[in-house]
Structures are given as C-alpha cells and as structure tokens.
C-alpha cells in the first residue's frame, strides 16, 4: 500500500496534509484502488509523446553554459497520427572559451535547420513523403551548427546530443560527452550514446580502469566537440523508442554526479516527467552540484 | 542566422582589389573562418607575381570573442615573419579591413596532400610518400629547434601539407602553431584523429608532432581517414594489412612514430628522419615482392558434395523442405531432387522459364513461371494441385502468409491467392511490373515495382503507405526489429520505418542493385552491380566492410552461423565472415551465378547458369 502511495505522490514528496473532515478515513476497498489505478494510467486512442525538462546552474558555477530544448507535436496525415519530438541538450565547454555562446548557437542552429525541414509536414497537410532520410537531416543540422559556432565564437566548443522522434523511431545525433539513455521500468538504464571524451577512450583502450577514470584529472577533455576542428563526424543512428520506457538526455552535470540507480529510480517513481526532471536536478545539487545540470525526459504512451 | 549575416560572410569576387595592391583572381580554399584567394600583387606591374591571400572574417557578435580572434591572427602573422625555411611559406604582408583580416603569403602552385590522396586511384606509392615524410621531418626539426622556444606545429595532417610543382612539401596553416603553453581545460588542440593522446590533455610537445606525422603517412598509404576512426586506433589498422605494397621497414618506422606512449616514439624529428632514410636505402632499389594472400592455397580446393545438371540455366534460388530440394530452371521445369545426394525425384514442366524461388509449405511447392502462371504442386509426387493465371510473366517469388500466396507479376499487380483453392482473393495495382518478392511483417505486405514505387498493403489489399525510389525496386525487402531494408536500381540501400514508410537513412552503393539484403546482428548485407558485397550498420548506415568480386552481384547474400554466402556473375560462390568480410573460401562454377544460395543443416545449395545445381559443405 505504501508503495502505491509512493508511486502516486513521488517518494521524496511529503504527503500533503488533508483537511480535518477527511482525516477519518477507512482503508480503500479493492474497487476504489482499481478505480484510482486505472485513472493513473489513462489509455489514449493514439500514441502520445510527452516530455519534461529541468535545468540548474548547479552549486559551484556562476554561469550556465548548458542549453536545452524540448519540442513535442503530432503530425496528422495520411499515415496516421505521428508523434513528433525534438529534444536537444548542449553543454558548452570551458568558462573563458565562450561555451555559453557555443551551446546557444548549437540549439538555435540545429532546431532551425530541422524545423525548416519538417515545417511543411507539421503545419500543412503534405501528402508527399519526405525524400530526405532522417539521418541526413540530422547530419546536415549538426554540420550547419558546427559552421555557425566557428563563425560566432571561434575556438569555443560544445557537446550536442539531439534526439528526433518520429513515430516510434528515435534518430540520435551525438557529439561530446552529454548522454542519451533508455530508462526501463524494470531497472535498466542503458546509455545509447558513446562519450567522445579522452577518459572514455582511454578506458576503451584499457589504459584506464573504470575506477581510475572516476578520478582522472583530464575528465573534461573531449576529443570531438561541435565547433572544434574543421572536420566533424557526429555519431548518428536510429533506434526504436523503448516501450515501455523513457528516453533521457542529460549533461555530465547529472550523469557524472548522481548514481545510475538513483537516476533510474527518480525517473520511474515520479508521478510525472516534469517532477522526475525536478527530482533529478535536485539530486545532482544535493550531491554538490559541481557543474551545470540539464535533463530532458520523453515517453511514448499508448 | 538572418540574411544579413550571410552577406557579411560573402567571398570576395574576382576583380576586387585589396588595399590598392592585391587583385583577387580566384578562391582556392575555404576554411571555417573565411576563404583563401589567389591574387596578383599589383606592386609588380610588369611581371605577374602571385600571392595567396588568407582571409579571416571576424563575425563573432561577442566583443571578447572578437578580441581573442584578433590576437590569434596577429600571433600567426608574427610567427611566420620570424621563420625562414623552404618548406614554410613566406609572409609578405598583413592587414585588417573592418571585420576582415588578411595574411599575404607566397602562392604555392600545387595541391594539398589530402587532395592527392583522394584523387589517386588506389594507394600512393611508397617511394613518393617516403620522400615527403623525410622533408616533413626536416621542417619539423627546424621548428622544434627554434630559439628561444621550440615551435610546435600542432596540426600536422594531409590537408596542411602542400606539394608544389617540384614535388617538395610546404607546411601551411600556422593558425595554432605556437610555443608550448598549457592547454586550456576542456578544449582540444589540433585535429582529431591525427593528434596523439597527450595533446588532448594540452601537452603539445615536439614528440606530439612526430605522432601526427606518423598519422599523416599512415593516412596517405592506407587511405583510411583517421578523423572518422576512434582516436589512437592505428594499431587496429596495420598499414600492410590494408596496403600490402608498404614495406615492413616503413611500417615499423611509422608504428614507432605512432606509439601510444611518447617515451616509445622517436625522440626528435631528426631521429625519425634518419630512420626513414634507412628505409629508403633498404627498399629503394629493390623491386617489390608481390604479396599474396596467405590463405589462397586452401580457398579453391572446395569440392561439391554433389551436383545435378538441368537442360538449361538455373537463374533462380533453390528451396529445401523435408529432405527435398526444389529449383526452377530456364528449361521450363521445376526440379525436385533428394537434398542429401542430388538424385532426381521428379520434374514439373511449365511453358516458360522458372526463374524465381519456389516456396514450400505444408507438403506443397508453390512457384511462378514466365508462362504467366503460379503453380501449386504436391511436394512428394510432383502432381499439380492448382494453377493460377497471373496475366503476366511471373519473375517474383511467392510469399506465403495467413492462408495466402502473395506474388507479383509483370502485369503490374501483386496477387493474393487463396493457398487452398488457387483462387484470387484480391489484387493490388502497382504502377509497373512487380518482380520484387512480397515481404510480410506485422500484418502488412511490402512489395516494390519497376517504376521505383514501394508499397505497404494490408491483408485486405488496401494501401497503407507508398515510398518512391528514383529507379526500379526489384530487390525484396527484409527487416530488423525497427526498420525495413530495400535496395534499388537507383544505387541506394534504403532503411524505412515499416509503419509509415519514412526514410531513416540511405546508403550509396557503387551502382544499381537488384540484390535483396539480408540482416544479421544489426548488419545489413547486400550486393550491387559494381561487383561489391556491402555490409552496413543497420542503425547508423556506416559501412562496416565491402568485398570485391570480379563481376556484378545480382543474387542475394544469405547469412548462416558466422558466415555470409553470396554468388557473383563472375561464377563464384563466396563464403565470407559476416563481421569482417574476410574471405573464408570460394567455389567456382562454369558460368554466372545470378540466384541466391540456400543454406540448411550445414549444407549450401546454389544454382548456376552453367545449368548445374551444387551442394557444398557450409
């Protein structure tokens, strides 16, 4: 029973005191519980994409260099009602290197590029099938953002983890060490991106043990970042949206600070995605908040 | 990103003159911050003196950023002014006009090494590359011995090495070269892929340049661009495995330069130069010994378990059920053979070639013929159960699902035929002949046609969605858990969302393809008429390997255990490791193989246009 209330109100939340005349309550009957439970998991006659996001400057930095975006829509048309989502997290590098300009430019440029492509499908009833594959659109968007950053803040750089959700497909474009995860209700937390960081590469090569990596002095060094170098090769791939499950994108201010089991629990146990994001940001701040914190959560229901 | 920004970034046009002196002729390069132009110096009116004008547009809106850019620009100019070496371009002038700054350098008539690599068919010659490497050691040595502080180039890579008309190297782009300072945390210096591990930590030293030179030569002689590989992975791509013409001596020198630990590399560029000179002496005069594939001896010794000869070509694919093998022939017959020993059981004559693949189901065999009919025949006796008139030659193979036989015909319909009665249930009209084999997944039937349309049709025959390729889709679809894959005569391999037909990605094959892909472990494998068998990552569309056969690959690959089997018009059946594309063995027939093999119980069955059916140990 307690577990049920935990689920209903979120574990960390204090139960709101009821008014006096409701204090005298009997235990709920099985029917009443069923009624509440079914009310909690509404059924949709079509698939719904929902999302939440959260951000904090953290406890130790003065400047926020992270940028995020979460946009959700439905494309109605000939092939049914397609959920559409665009979720972006960008973490600008290094305080004196104009990281905030870089992450801002990344979000601005990538969303501009992608929205221009999808505009006819989102806001007109276009019957033609889009010719350009999703992965090519993502690649074009990332390459354009790379150029914009080199123009607006040469020498600066940013991570970018972008997820384009169309129907049940998630197309990821990824550069740097922000991460995308699939979070499953059964307790698994699967990172689906691979960090472009020196420390991860040294781990892969066997030069560093995972426990040494935790305290490696050059943890922040990226070998691939948006805006850095003349040639950029982002990781781009398409996978099925987890059902049941969640898509989470976050900066290292979250994944590097909060233990995976705590992340997983916060996501699964919160009553809403928005609450889950707030709880995740709080958890990172409680753990010291050494860096900017950004998180986006999305779920496909129905 | 408004329109105004793009005009501020516009390139100078030919005819424009800078500071009344440099007449712009042509754009010769484009970088992240501006262009490089060829210009004529008008202070020499009587001769044509050409210069390279390197432009840097300071379009940063933030004043602090602007200031940093100006500082970097002046640093490059000042640095170049102090250097005098034949492999370093001389600086003639620098100036700033508004938000644009310019460096005026000697014009180099030549080509950069990256362009040379890309424009060369096959590999660069070792002798030539070795000569460049020696000259690069020489200029690095010069920079590293600079007084008072050594200069670290920090960005050695093929695109920063120009080869002039005399064949000598010139280092260009000193934009980030400088005397060593601790790198700022969180940033990279240099170019990913070419830079050594310590440079990512900001520890740029002369030995870091040696690593990058090793990486440059590795790229030049293997054509494998390190920027698209994980960092520090040269050891996973030994030069001689990719390009057997490279000498063992040179490989050893490059491996030393590419050592992960700086302690184990050459200590100076001069030392590396000595080692390269040693290679030149040893190998220079000797004719190359042609390297031969080490396993070739056993590759051709495959013997068939049995073979069976028809009266005409076998163009299609066999199928095996309950110990019987069924295969069609261009002699108009469907043959039934004992799968164990190839003994003839029966044949069923039609009035046209049987070029597709029969389907066996519940004791019967279903197959189409160019005589416009679909046949159902008893699998044991060969007696006819029913025939169906498809109104056009049948080159598509039947697919059986949910009590229906789905089959395409050249009459531009896909037919759904009741499997028991042979009666038409419905037919779906395409825009051209349907030669692709229908594919069934999650209650939808997918089929392509010769106009390039690809359809998803439900079990009632209603169109769910349509995808259009630029040319015919003769290939049949296959799927992984999330995507549908088809090849087209437009030379693309497509991944589509099976629910709505949106394209996830497309992969460019060398030429048109009618081969049907197969998927194993998230690897999509398909043949094309350029003679290659391609393996592509199903999630990212990245090429994993390609294998070259001697002629078109029109049949479809088949994965079995850890191998993939595929025939080629060159007459061979190839057995490759599906993860690496490495040749395990090949089996030569007397004529082209156009169909697909069938693998069952560790035996590969394949037909050839030499009229024979072969059974081989897998």
Mean predicted lDDT score pLDDT of chain B: 87
Kindly tell me if the per-residue pLDDT of B283 is higher than 70. Answer: yes
Give the pLDDT mean for B231-256: 91
Place of tokens 């990821």: A172
Region at A283 (left for phi over 0; alpha for psi -120 to 50; beta for the rest): alpha
Instruction: Establish if B62 belongs to a structural domain.
Output: yes
CB distance B32–A151 less than 8 Å? yes
Instruction: Using a CB–CB cutoff of 8 Å, tell me whether B282 touches chain A.
Output: no
Q: Which residue has the higher pLDDT, B125 or B192?
A: B125
Same domain, B277 and B166: yes
CA atoms within 13 A on the CB side of A163: 35
Give the pLDDT mean for A61-90: 87
Kindly tell me if the per-residue pLDDT of B309 is higher than 70. Answer: yes
Give the pLDDT mean for B163-172: 87
Best of A167, A221, A235, A300 to substitute, by most chain B Cβ atoms within 10 angstroms, is: A221
Please report the pLDDT score of residue A36 as a whole number: 60
Give the pLDDT mean for A142-159: 92
Give me the residue from B72, B188, B505 closest to A135, CB to CB.
B505
**Domain hosting residue B96, numbered range:** 3-106
CB distance B186–A220 less than 8 Å? yes
| Least reliable range by pLDDT among B68-72, B196-200, B321-325 | B68-72
Same domain, B126 and B92: no
Instruction: Using a CB–CB cutoff of 8 Å, tell me whether B60 touches chain A.
Output: yes
Region at B541 (left for phi over 0; alpha for psi -120 to 50; beta for the rest): left
Give me the residue from B65, B72, B497 closest to A153, CB to CB.
B65
Instruction: Establish if B305 belongs to a structural domain.
Output: no
By C-alpha distance, the chain B residue nearest A195 is B230
CB distance B184–A167 less than 8 Å? no
By C-alpha distance, the chain B residue nearest A164 is B504
Instruction: Establish if B35 belongs to a structural domain.
Output: yes
Give the pLDDT mean for B36-57: 88
Please report the pLDDT score of residue A112 as a whole number: 96
CB distance B185–A221 less than 8 Å? yes
Same domain, B139 and B33: no
Cα B289 to Cα B128, B283, B292, distances in angstroms: 18, 11, 9
Q: Which residue has the higher pLDDT, B520 or B291?
A: B520
Same domain, B17 and B139: no
Please report the pLDDT score of residue B433 as a whole number: 94
Give the domain CATH number at B20. 3.30.200.20
Please report the pLDDT score of residue B298 as a whole number: 40
Please report the pLDDT score of residue A18 as a whole number: 47
Please report the pLDDT score of residue A79 as a whole number: 58
Q: Which of B40, B73, B106 is the last residue of a domain?
A: B106
Kindly tell me if the per-residue pLDDT of B592 is higher than 50. Answer: yes
Give the pLDDT mean for A12-30: 53
Q: Topology of A46-189+225-301 in CATH?
A: Phosphatase 2c; domain 1 (3.60.40)
Instruction: Establish if B593 belongs to a structural domain.
Output: no
CA distance A190 to chain B (A): 16
By C-alpha distance, the chain A residue nearest B229 is A233
d(C-alpha B423, C-alpha B416), whole Å: 9
Q: pLDDT category, A209, cuts 50, 70, 90?
A: confident
What ipTM does the predicted assembly reach?
0.74
d(C-alpha B486, C-alpha B501), whole Å: 12
Kindly tell me if the per-residue pLDDT of B269 is higher than 50. Answer: yes
Domain boundaries defined on chain A: 46-189+225-301
Q: Which of B73, B88, B106 is the last residue of a domain?
A: B106
Largest CA distance in chain B: 96
CA distance B180 to chain A (A): 17
In B74-133, the residues whose Cβ lies within 8 Å of chain A are none
Please report the pLDDT score of residue B99 as a whole number: 87
Kindly tell me if the per-residue pLDDT of B341 is higher than 50. Answer: yes
Please report the pLDDT score of residue A3 as a whole number: 55
Peptide bond into A244 cis (omega under 30): yes
Is residue B116 helix, strand or coil? helix
d(C-alpha B603, C-alpha A77), whole Å: 49
In A155-184, the residues whose Cβ lies within 8 Å of chain B are 155-157, 166-169, 171
Give the pLDDT mean for A216-240: 87
Please report the pLDDT score of residue B110 as a whole number: 87
Please report the pLDDT score of residue B10 as a whole number: 81
Q: pLDDT category, B190, cuts 50, 70, 90?
A: low
Q: Using only the alpha carbons of chain A, give its radius of gyration.
A: 21
By C-alpha distance, the chain A residue nearest B192 is A223
Please report the pLDDT score of residue A198 as a whole number: 86
Instruction: Establish if B244 belongs to a structural domain.
Output: yes
Instruction: Using a CB–CB cutoff of 8 Å, tell me whether A102 touches chain B.
Output: no
CA distance A282 to chain B (A): 25
CB distance A238–B185 less than 8 Å? no
Same domain, B266 and B125: yes
Is residue A7 helix, strand or coil? helix
Kindly tell me if the per-residue pLDDT of B164 is higher than 60. Answer: yes
Q: pLDDT category, B296, cuts 50, 70, 90?
A: very low
Instruction: Establish if B26 belongs to a structural domain.
Output: yes
Please report the pLDDT score of residue B412 as a whole number: 94
Q: pLDDT category, B295, cuts 50, 70, 90?
A: very low
Same domain, B81 and B182: no
Instruction: Establish if B227 belongs to a structural domain.
Output: yes
Same domain, B130 and B74: no
Please report the pLDDT score of residue B8 as a whole number: 54
Kindly tell me if the per-residue pLDDT of B183 is higher than 50. Answer: no
| Least reliable range by pLDDT among B84-93, B369-378, B526-535 | B84-93
Same domain, B93 and B117: no
Q: How many domains, chain B?
A: 2
Instruction: Using a CB–CB cutoff of 8 Å, tell me whether B483 touches chain A.
Output: yes
Please report the pLDDT score of residue A45 as a whole number: 60
Give the pLDDT mean for B222-242: 89
In B292-351, the residues whose Cβ lies within 8 Å of chain A are none
CB distance B227–A130 less than 8 Å? no
Buried b (16+ CB within 10 A) or exposed e, B550-581: eebbbbbbbbbeebbbbbbbbbbbbbbebeeb
CB distance B497–A201 less than 8 Å? no
d(C-alpha B75, C-alpha B81), whole Å: 10
Same domain, B252 and B200: yes
CB distance A157–B541 less than 8 Å? no
Same domain, B93 and B125: no
Kindly tell me if the per-residue pLDDT of B48 is higher than 90. Answer: no
Same domain, B252 and B197: yes
Kindly tell me if the per-residue pLDDT of B7 is higher than 70. Answer: no
Mean predicted lDDT score pLDDT of chain A: 85
Best of A47, A79, A171, A201 to substitute, by most chain B Cβ atoms within 10 angstroms, is: A79
Segment B96-111, tens digit of pLDDT = 888 899 999 988 888 8
Please report the pLDDT score of residue B165 as a whole number: 81
Instruction: Establish if B73 belongs to a structural domain.
Output: yes
Which one, of B527, B533, B535, lies nearest residue B548 by Cα? B533
Give the domain CATH number at B133. 1.10.510.10
Instruction: Using a CB–CB cutoff of 8 Å, tell me whether A127 touches chain B.
Output: no
Instruction: Using a CB–CB cutoff of 8 Å, tell me whether B11 touches chain A.
Output: no
Q: Which of B243, B260, B283 is the last residue of a domain?
A: B283
Segment B392-447, tens digit of pLDDT = 999 999 999 989 999 999 999 999 999 999 999 999 999 999 999 999 998 899 99
Best of B504, B522, B524, B538 to substitute, by most chain A Cβ atoms within 10 angstroms, is: B504
Kindly tell me if the per-residue pLDDT of A269 is higher than 50. Answer: yes
Contact B617, B599 (CB under 8 A): no
Give me the residue from A136, A147, A223 closest to B32, CB to CB.
A147
Contact B152, B211 (CB under 8 A): no
Same domain, B79 and B170: no
d(C-alpha A177, C-alpha A228), whole Å: 14
Segment B483-538, tens digit of pLDDT = 999 999 999 999 999 988 999 999 999 899 999 999 999 999 999 999 999 999 99
CA distance B45 to chain A (A): 36
């Amino acid at each position: 029973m307690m577990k049920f209330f935990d689920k209903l109100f979120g574990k960390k939340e204090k139960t709101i005191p009821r008014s006096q005349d409701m204090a005298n309550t009997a235990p709920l009957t099985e029917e009443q519980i069923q009624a509440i439970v079914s009310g909690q998991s509404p059924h949709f006659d079509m698939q719904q994409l929902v999302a939440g996001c959260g951000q904090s400057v953290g406890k130790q930095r003065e400047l926020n260099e992270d940028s995020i975006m979460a946009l959700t829509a439905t494309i109605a048309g000939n092939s049914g009602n397609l959920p559409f989502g665009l979720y972006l997290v960008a973490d600008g590098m290094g305080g004196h290197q104009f990281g905030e300009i870089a992450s801002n430019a990344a979000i601005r440029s990538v969303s501009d590029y992608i929205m221009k492509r999808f505009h006819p499908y989102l806001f007109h009833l276009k019957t033609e099938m889009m010719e350009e594959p999703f992965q090519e659109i993502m690649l074009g968007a990332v390459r354009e953002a790379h150029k914009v950053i080199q123009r607006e803040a040469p020498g600066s750089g940013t991570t970018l983890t972008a997820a384009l959700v169309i129907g049940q497909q998630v197309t990821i474009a990824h550069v740097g060490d922000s991460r995308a995860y699939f979070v499953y209700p059964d307790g698994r937390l699967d990172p689906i991106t691979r960090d472009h960081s020196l420390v991860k590469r040294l781990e892969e090569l066997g030069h560093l043990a995972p426990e040494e990596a935790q305290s490696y002095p050059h943890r922040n060094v990226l070998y691939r970042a948006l805006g850095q170098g003349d040639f950029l090769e982002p990781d781009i791939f398409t996978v099925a949206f987890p059902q049941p499950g969640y898509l989470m994108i976050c900066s290292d201010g979250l994944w590097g600070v909060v233990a995976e089991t705590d992340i997983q629990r916060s996501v699964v146990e919160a009553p809403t995605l928005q609450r889950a994001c707030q709880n995740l940001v709080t958890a990172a701040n409680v753990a010291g908040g050494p860096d900017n914190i950004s998180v986006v959560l999305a779920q496909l229901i129905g | 990103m408004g329109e105004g920004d793009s005009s501020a970034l516009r390139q100078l046009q030919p005819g424009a003159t800078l500071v009344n002196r440099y007449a712009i002729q042509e754009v010769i390069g484009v970088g992240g911050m501006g262009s490089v132009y060829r210009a004529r110096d008008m202070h020499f009116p009587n001769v044509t003196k050409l210069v390279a004008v390197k432009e840097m547009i300071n379009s940063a809106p933030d004043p602090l950023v602007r200031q940093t850019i100006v500082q970097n620009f002046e640093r490059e100019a000042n640095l170049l002014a102090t250097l005098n070496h034949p492999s370093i371009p001389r600086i003639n002038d620098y100036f700033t006009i508004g938000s644009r700054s310019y460096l005026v350098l000697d014009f180099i008539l030549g080509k950069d090494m990256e362009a040379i690599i890309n424009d060369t068919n096959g590999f660069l010659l070792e002798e030539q590359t070795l000569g460049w490497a020696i000259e690069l050691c020489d200029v690095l040595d010069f920079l590293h011995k600079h007084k008072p502080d050594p200069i670290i180039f920090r960005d050695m890579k093929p695109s920063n090495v120009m080869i002039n008309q005399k064949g000598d190297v010139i280092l260009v782009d000193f934009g980030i070269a400088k005397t060593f300072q601790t790198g700022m945390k969180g940033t990279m210096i240099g170019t990913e892929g070419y830079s050594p591990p310590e440079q990512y930590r900001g520890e740029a030293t002369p030995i870091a340049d040696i690593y990058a030179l090793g990486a440059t030569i590795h790229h030049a002689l293997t054509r494998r661009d390190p920027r698209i590989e994980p960092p520090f992975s040269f050891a996973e791509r030994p030069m001689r495995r990719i390009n057997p013409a490279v000498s063992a001596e040179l490989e050893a020198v490059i491996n030393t330069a590419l050592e992960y630990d700086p302690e184990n590399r050459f200590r100076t560029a001069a030392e590396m130069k000595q080692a390269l000179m040693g290679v030149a002496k040893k190998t220079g005069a000797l004719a190359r010994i042609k390297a031969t594939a080490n396993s070739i001896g056993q590759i051709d010794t495959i013997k068939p378990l049995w073979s069976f000869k028809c009266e005409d070509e076998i163009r299609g694919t066999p199928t095996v059920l309950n110990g019987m093998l069924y295969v069609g022939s261009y002699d108009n017959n469907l043959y039934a053979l004992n799968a164990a020993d190839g003994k003839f059981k029966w044949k069923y004559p039609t009035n046209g070639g049987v070029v597709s693949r029969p389907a066996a189901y519940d004791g019967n065999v279903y197959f189409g013929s160019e005589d416009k009919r679909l046949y159902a025949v008893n699998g044991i006796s060969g007696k006819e159960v029913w025939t169906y008139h498809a109104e056009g030659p049948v080159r598509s193979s039947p697919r059986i699902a949910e009590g229906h036989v789905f089959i395409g015909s050249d009459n531009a319909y896909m037919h759904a035929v009741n499997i028991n009665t042979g009666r038409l249930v419905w037919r779906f009209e395409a825009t051209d002949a349907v030669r692709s084999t229908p594919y069934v997944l999650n209650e939808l039937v997918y089929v392509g046609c010769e106009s390039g349309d690809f359809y998803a049709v439900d079990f009632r025959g209603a169109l769910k969605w349509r995808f259009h390729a630029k040319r015919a889709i003769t290939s049949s679809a296959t799927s992984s858990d999330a995507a549908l894959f088809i090849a087209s005569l437009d030379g693309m391999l497509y991944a589509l969302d099976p629910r709505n037909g949106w394209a996830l990605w497309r992969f460019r094959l060398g030429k048109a393809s009618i081969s049907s892909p197969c998927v194993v472990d998230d690897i999509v494998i398909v043949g094309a008429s350029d003679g290659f068998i391609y393996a592509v990552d199903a999630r990212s569309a990245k090429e994993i390997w390609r294998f070259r056969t001697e002629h078109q690959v029109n049949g479809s690959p088949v994965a079995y255990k850890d191998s993939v089997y595929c025939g080629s018009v060159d007459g061979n059946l190839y057995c490759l490791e599906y993860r690496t594309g490495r040749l395990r063995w090949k089996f030569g027939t007397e004529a082209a193989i156009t169909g697909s093999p069938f693998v069952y119980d560790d035996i590969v069955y394949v037909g050839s246009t030499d009229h024979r059916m072969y059974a081989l140990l897998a």
